[in-house]
Structures are given as structure tokens and as C-alpha cells.
Amino acid sequence: MTKEYKRRDFMVLSATAFAGIGSMFMLAPCVLSMAPSSSVRAASTVTIDLRDISPGEEKTIQWRGKPVFIKHRTTEEIENKDSILPLKRLQDPVHSESRYKNPMWIIVLGICTHLGCVPIIAKEGGLGYDGYSGWYCPCHGSHYDEFGRIVKGPAPRNLEVPPYYFVDDDHVLIGLDSPES
């Protein structure tokens, strides 16, 4: 190989490497600009004061334009293991313990997983009550238990559990799984 070929190969390799590194420096700001800023991430969270919700009551709040159901369970509901449906009765079986971070509070996204309707509360004597309390979707008849698990109807999945964590005993932040997120 002559000296001219070695020099030409070196120049081609150097130019290619320089162009590649330059492209990365040009693309990095573009890619980084697509990540949400800290102010956008902060706006995508909502902090709820749980002192406003008495045991046995439920509150619906808005998070990212979607309803979120927050249910304050009573000590009787927590102690009554008979009300927990066996996994074999569920269409999307998951243990009830995996649906909450604190047994006093059930927090689920209030959107039916069938066609996106908003379920209503199913209490004894009310519309959609089928022997257990929870939620009922009046659009197509999906029944969810008190943990948001699908019991019957056309909905394919359980109600979604949004990311959340307890800031303290009286406040929950919806939108992040932990303070470090």
C-alpha cells in the first residue's frame, strides 16, 4: 500500500469521525428538548388533602383531565375479609393487596377499560349493585369490586391504578410513584 492510500484512508476516516461526533452534538439538544421540563412534570401532579374524605366516603378528583376515584375505607371494610372476592371470580385476577399502598385508601383511575366511560359508585340498593360494593359502568354493564378489579362485564382489564405516593398521613400526591421520580 502506498503512502498516498494510507493518507487518503486516514483523511476519510477522520472526516467520517468528525462528522459523526458533530452530528451527535447537533442532535443532543434536539433530543433533550423533548423531555418534559420540571415545571411540566410538576403540573402533571396533584396533591390531595385526605382530611376532607371521611371513612366510608369517596371523592372524585381530576388528574391530567381524567377522573380519579379516592375511596377512604372504613375499619369494618378492612377487617371484613369475606367481602374480598376470590381470584377465580375475577376476569383480570390480581391480589387486592397489589391495588393499594395503604389499606385505608383505594385510589384508581375512574375510566372503564372497555370503552372509556366513567363508572359510578355501586352501593347496596343503588344502580349497579350486585352483592358487593365497588363501581359499575352504566354504558355496557362492567362491574368492578371495591379495589377496582373487573368482576363481570365486557371490560378486559381492572381499573388502572395511577402513580401516587403518600406525602404524609394526610396528603397524597398523584402523578409520581415516589418523591425521587
Catalytic residues: 140
Q: Measure the CA–CA gap between 158 and 93, rounded to whole angstroms.
A: 9
Q: Measure the CA–CA gap between 130 and 108, rounded to whole angstroms.
A: 20
At residue 142, the 3 state secondary structure works out as: strand
- Please give the DSSP secondary-structure letter assigned to residue 39: H
Q: Measure the CA–CA gap between 178 and 181, rounded to whole angstroms.
A: 5
**CB within 8 A of 137, min separation 6: which ones?**
112, 114, 117, 118, 119, 120, 128, 143, 144, 153, 155
Q: Measure the CA–CA gap between 141 and 117, rounded to whole angstroms.
A: 11
Cβ atoms of 150 and 90 within 8 Å: the answer is: yes
Cβ atoms of 155 and 112 within 8 Å: the answer is: yes
Q: Which phi and psi angles does 176 have, rounded to 5°?
A: -135, 145
